[in-house]
Amino acid sequence: MSEQLKKLSARFDTKDVKQRSQGGKRLDYISIDATIRRFNDVLGAEWSTHLVGPIDVRDVDNGKYLAIVTISLEALGKSAVGTGADTATDADKAIKTALAEAIKKAGHQFGVGLYLWDEEEREIVQRDRNANAGDLNALKAKAFEVALEQGAEANAASIAKTLGIKEDDLQDADKLRAVLKLDK
């Protein structure tokens, strides 16, 4: 896998992972601004999109519009097609949302946000959300993960030493938030 594809498929900061309800479930997704920012940060101006066919806007029941947009996203010598759809009372909003969905769908083919389809990855995202909210158990799990990535052994003394804190600080949510550089 190329270095650019690795960067495109990297996890997003938890603040960029949004949630919405659909079919009675909470679904994680990456916002369109974070998706575009990822492409810009990794590829600069070396990516583009264009419409595949016309934008399909239909007037449906109750004063709503259905927009369907299909785009092609070109980058790294590859072309990926994505289709998005949205229904809204404002045709312009339906088109904008459908376009955003199409870009994100095409972005999945480059790995952008694709990790959210994995259950274990979604659990990590939820743990990180809980850590950001100050949950002590989630903070401990995040601190453990960070310290292990930095070469710590799997024990409290080694974790604390690697993080540059006292062992007792592993029980202090404020200390863990500070060492993990999480906003309050």
Structure tokens at 108: 């999945």
The answer, as to whether pTM is greater than 0.85, is no
Which residues face 87 on adjacent strands? 66
Structure tokens at 49: 């999109």
**HSE-CB for 34 with a 13 A CA cutoff:** 15
Q: Which long-range contacts (CB under 8 A, 24 or more apart) does 12-15 make?
A: 12/38, 12/113, 14/125, 14/128, 14/129, 14/132, 15/132
Contacts for 6 with CB less than 8 Å, ≥ 6 apart: none
If residue 116 lies in a helix (H) or strand (E), which one and from where to where?
none
pLDDT one digit per residue (tens) for the chain, 184 residues: 799 999 999 999 988 999 888 888 888 999 999 999 999 999 999 999 999 999 999 999 889 999 999 999 999 999 999 999 999 999 999 999 999 999 999 999 999 999 999 999 989 898 888 888 888 888 888 888 889 999 999 999 999 999 999 999 899 888 898 888 876 5
Domains along the chain? 3-117 (3.30.390.80), 119-179 (no CATH)
